[in-house]
Chains A and B, each alone.
Chain A
């Protein structure tokens, strides 16, 4: 009964979203206030029924209702409850339901927190979101309902969830990522609403800025979590694989980063309007493209769900309608590109433009690398794959150049800054970072290393310019604490995010240069030396988990004779599918991780293949990701975005 209620709620939600897509839009076109005012209640109703539907699926999972095909394929009665619930988004149908549910959540949020918006704008924005929801909910109902049942007879127990997904990472990673993906639909809807209304002033940029920043922060957090999860769960010690699905999340993030910056320029200075609109359309389109790539099975990937041409066709249609429609609208209604400019070479506008160009180029190169196998295959020229070296070779130099521009950008003003002022501000940070970059490899490693020099210099450059600029703000201030409060939150957000980029860059540089790893055969009592640590293998014993049995090894780690830690990596065998799973054990630290994973038993368990890693500064990768996301969220707290239209500008403190 409950799954049927879920399905029924989904049908009602579809109906509501279809009405939401049509009525307020028509009301806005004909200036009918009553029709426009239907937008808010419809958004609320849609969310309510999506919530009911979502809860119904959760209930089916928690009650082990294996008559539901989706539950039977992704759960098992032995699974712990938290994994039963997160298994909701462990497969295609459920993750699509999560997608649609989060979309309805964003729609609700826009309807609740947009009191300052003019009614027609709000009506159009919510209508556009209604159109997207209509597309996705019909996709769910037509090709991938999670509520279908096995009739007349059904399995006694479920087929279990892929053990890789039975992990804390799966509980948090997809919802975060989807919050980001789907969140870009808000920026998209604002852009479309602005194009439709023809009011392409800077107001739409201000309205959509905070929404974009939140979505961007969630997406960044989602990617960071995914990287961290892959690192500890896959047992290989890698943190980024340039897998098509990872790329699918990176592309909207890159374009989203460009959008966040370009929105700032559009809002503050009224420049790059057409470009900002285009970025808003592309950020969401790339999210949809990512969904297409994952769901349609056109690219093989570790993440790819079972390929189904029918589903692929449906998403391609959705993509064609949203992208084709919005780009056509854009081509006809976007403001003309003006070649006149009222800013000079050295101005914040130009540097933001440079940042945008770099980020877009990076997104394009990633897109090209991801789709290249598909292009070659479509042209009938054979089956190929593009390896990580391509991405590294292209990505790293562009990223590095952009970081140099990042440092300069914080020191320049809008419109115009004299070269002398900039040089005065920046020579010291430049000298310090180059010097530190030169010394660091001698001090930390065994000798000069060009990559480390570049990586460290550039990262320190970004950090030191931000700090110099921050200190500079106090030069003429009467009181330190007053000035500290006067600076807007968005300024602190920017600082935090830029420092985050540098922290991630330091992590990437050091972990890819100074990591050490060994695969070795170890019998009881054997020991291995790595990066000054001694790992002693003390044998394995069997432990039992809720739905698996594991061989657990005991490995003692010593550093120059003194005890550091005991690690317990496991080799699990899950009861249901008899899948083997490597559960690495990690001694995490701010400056280094010790990472041990079990391979396979050799000579009937007499010895084990063991993989030992030393990963310096690997935590900085994710720390930087968190700082960036926090920075994005902090800008939203800025008082500029919180004022309602009824109150004067300085009413808020």
Chain B
């Protein structure tokens, strides 16, 4: 009888551990992904390379794309750059850059030094598009389908693992088409 009493702490711990386990899967910092499954917000900004021209959503709608939010002031962006280059070389999906609250000259310099994985870059100097998009911080990566609907949002460095997850989603679309 009293031996059984000694099991009480162990039982209590199991209950606690179960809750902690559950707690791990809930992220209290989960961001309101208000735009998930909604169209990419309309904008009209200049591309990074050509200050006189204008790009809009029409420039990339029609095929699935990745939109990558980056800036030269962000060390983590440097970390994910290799991965972006690898994706662009694999030719699996085009990447559109969203250069966020940055300086044009510095950004161009960065692309020259580190290589350019982007099909083109949207130059969002005031962060207005970023605000519409709900950007929390750089880097962030959005997956858009051929209709320009946001299907997935990745916050933080795009690791090889994250890219694998994205590939699964893209493959899923391909199989539906065929």
Contacts and interface: CB of A to CB of B under 8 A. Distances in A.
Nearest to B9: A327
Interface in B7-25: 7, 9-10, 13-14, 16-17, 19-25
Interface stretch (B26-34, B86-94, B128-136): B26-34
Contacts of A155: 75, 78
Nearest to B12: A327
A214 interface: no
A198 to B, nearest CB: 15
Interface string A306-329: 010100110010011001100110
A312 B24 CA distance: 7
Contacts of B20: 292, 298, 316, 319, 374
Given A155-B78, A377-B23, A307 B2 contact: no
B3 interface: yes
Contacts of B5: 337
B23 A298 contact: yes
Select the residue from B16, B29, B75 with max chain A CB neighbours within 10 A: B75
Q: How large is the interface on A (under 10, 10 to 19, 20 to 34, 35 or more residues)?
A: 35 or more
Contacts of B26: 298, 374, 377-378
B28 A72 contact: no
Contacts of A554: none
B19 A307 contact: no
B28 A378 contact: no
A222 to B, nearest CB: 24
B114 interface: yes
A150 B78 contact: yes
Nearest to B24: A312
A298 B17 CA distance: 13
Interface of A: 69, 72-73, 150, 153-155, 159, 274, 278, 281-282, 285, 292, 296-300, 307, 309, 312-313, 316, 319-320, 323-324, 327-328, 330-332, 334, 336-338, 371, 374-375, 377-378, 383
A377 B28 contact: yes
Contact of B17 (A282, A300, A324, A330): A324
A328 B22 CA distance: 22
Contact of A331 (B6, B23, B24, B25): B6
A-B residue pairs, 7 tightest by C-beta: A378-B22, A327-B10, A298-B23, A331-B7, A331-B6, A374-B23, A300-B28
Contacts of B9: 278, 281-282, 327, 330-331
A291 B102 CA distance: 37
Interface string B102-143: 000000000001100000000000000000000000000000
Interface string B76-99: 001100000000000000000000
